[in-house]
Structure 1
Amino acid sequence: MRTVGVVVNREKPGADATLKRLCDLLSSEGVAVVTADTEQLATDEVTGDMFQTVELAFILGGDGTLLGAARKLAPWNVPLLGINLGHLGFLSEADPGNLHDTVRRVVQQDYDLEKRLVLTATVLRRDEICASFLGINDVAIAKGSFARMVTVDVHVDDVWVDSFRGDGVLVSTPTGSTAYSLSCGGPIVVPHVQAILITPICPHTLVSRPCVIDSEQTIKLVVRAAHEDVGLTVDGQVGFPLLPDDVVTVGRSPVEVTLVKWRDREFFSVLRKKLRFADETV
């Protein structure tokens, strides 16, 4: 029997009703379902082990739900199919209004699998590793709530690039190029490009600009601040407090995220629809 997984964010409106409809449709097609909710994933009550035998996992929620599930399930290489119950749903392929068609495509395997680059970030304090993270969208070093700037020394492959003074520095994947990085003036990068973006956050200079490097290069970020109101944020969801002189190393992770993509859904058409990149009538 074919088996799929479902991860549901029960805090989203209509989540339980959508889950029931989805499970009923899959059951009518003879597909078994393994379910978990985001709270179980967050507290490690459920790990990727239970999804090892599934051919893909439906993620019921918004983009944040998919990012959180992706960080947990990436080591198990579980393909993820987002069903948007949130606001933007840029990473999702479906919504509750087209569940019948979604299940039909999955049953007929009418989809492609798209690999996405993942970042790994390691925090070194006095030459000792004190934390490590996976990032699907981005890794940011940024000041906290007080209006005091930070300086971040940026090195690529141990070569000094620049010292960015401002609100911080953002390191993004192509997937994250349409998220926080875009708001900071970073470029849009199509998902299949093997690259990493370095984008200053509100730089206090006229010459600091985003930089695109090869995905195999390693970035070293050194925190220079006279205060301790600075932190590391991963995908806008996971936070870690930083101290002056902490070193954050960011590079390509050996694991990747696999997204289920419809063959008739093209990247720039999604941009136009979701981000109003251009006149939607064009």
Structure 2
Amino acid sequence: MKNIGINVNTTKNLNKKMLNFIIKNIRSIDDNVNIKVYEDCRGLDESESNKLDIIIVLGGDGTILNTSKNVLSSKTPILGINIGHLGFLAQVEISNVKRALNRLFRGEYAIEERDMLQCSYDDGNEIKRYDGLNDVVLCRKINSRIQKYDVYINDIFYNEFNGDGIIVCTSTGSTGYNLSAGGPIIHPSLNALCLTPMYSQSLTARTIILDSKSCINIASEKKFENVYLSIDGQRCIEIDGLKSVKISMSENKRKLIKFDNNDYFNTLKEKITFKVKGCEHKTYEGN
């Protein structure tokens, strides 16, 4: 391992203390390694990432998703170090940084390939395409009226939903916005697409889990206001008129570094169950 990139979320590392700590530890392991620092993805793209052996992301889940967007088709693996809030995608907490870096240089890790989504639509001039690691969301504007969405799966009409929107996520993204909207948690080893209606008026509006080879088309006809397309929460695109958004698995995959002590179910307990209980306890104490 000779070339390492570190992408830093500067809003979470204002004094650069953690960045300097990581660089110091890498140098103590191998003083000949080349380290290049990127701030908020500036200068980090697919071409640049291909020069690197690994990208260390210093931030939270949003920073990892933003990095993934910028290096879309790159095969360079990403290691997330959590200095954010939840950090579900991050493998390393601040307290374990030194140990994780030592294991990284000893090759004591695995690389997981995570599925990515691709959405596309015709804007009247060209076909627009966007990829995401977590989810694609079609939704109404805040404070606007309820919107109608017609959903087709493999060109067969599935259902009509009147509500705030539709979330389509990967198994990786199931613990994100999908979970907040009442969708299920899906183990990341499963190649699946998950479609979750957002706060629909219909009592029969429920999540459906689909085979990864499925193709979803969501049509939304403008009656009052435009709807918005969001990819991983990193892009928000206003689309007007009658639009059909096609969503399927992308040919791109995202490589994430995983240590064998990071069991998925322990992560669920630590990142979701325990933190939720902690927040509930603090609320109770505050009252």
Instruction: Give the fraction of aligned pairs with identical amino acids, expressed as a percent.
Output: 29
- TM superposition shift of 1:21: 1.4
Gaps of 5+ in 1: none
**Mapped partners of 1:144, 1:279: distance in 2:** 28
Any conservation in 2 of the 1:140–1:234 contact (CA below 8 Å)?
yes
Q: In the alignment, which residue of structure 1 is the partner of 2:96? A: 98
Change (3 A) 1:214 1:129: farther
Q: Does 1:58 align with 2:60?
A: no
Secondary structure in 2 matching 1:74: coil
Q: Does 1:209 align with 2:211?
A: no
RMSD of aligned Cα (Å): 1.9
**Mapped partners of 1:93, 1:46: distance in 2:** 21
Any conservation in 2 of the 1:145–1:229 contact (CA below 8 Å)?
no
Summarize deviations over 1:218-275 as a string: whole Å, max 9, x none: 1111112312241001112210001131111111111100111110111111111111
Q: In the alignment, which residue of structure 2 is the partner of 1:27? A: 27
Q: In the alignment, which residue of structure 1 is the partner of 2:5? A: 5
Secondary structure in 2 matching 1:255: strand
Q: Which amino acid aligns with 2:96?
A: N
Summarize deviations over 1:134-158 as a string: whole Å, max 9, x none: 1111000101012411111111111
Q: Which amino acid aligns with 2:130?
A: F
**Mapped partners of 2:276, 2:238: distance in 1:** 42
Q: Does 1:244 align with 2:241?
A: yes
**Mapped partners of 1:48, 1:19: distance in 2:** 23
Q: Which moved more, 1:87-96 or 1:7-16?
A: 7-16
**Mapped partners of 1:39, 1:110: distance in 2:** 27
Q: TM-score, normalised by structure 1?
A: 0.92
What are the within-5 Å matches in structure 2 for residues 161-240 of structure 1?
161-240=158-237
Q: Does 1:116 align with 2:114?
A: yes
Summarize deviations over 1:191-244 as a string: whole Å, max 9, x none: 010000110000111101111111111111111231224100111221000113
Q: In the alignment, which residue of structure 1 is the partner of 2:123? A: 125
Secondary structure in 2 matching 1:253: strand
Summarize deviations over 1:23-44 as a string: whole Å, max 9, x none: 121122223212212151xxxx
Change (3 A) 1:86 1:15: farther
- TM superposition shift of 1:277: 7.0
**Mapped partners of 2:230, 2:276: distance in 1:** 34
Secondary structure in 2 matching 1:100: helix
**Mapped partners of 1:161, 1:51: distance in 2:** 40
- TM superposition shift of 1:78: 1.4
Q: TM-score, normalised by structure 2?
A: 0.90
Summarize deviations over 1:105-159 as a string: whole Å, max 9, x none: 1111111111110001112235x53522111110001010124111111111111
Number of positions where the alignment pairs a residue of Structure 1 with one of Structure 2? 275
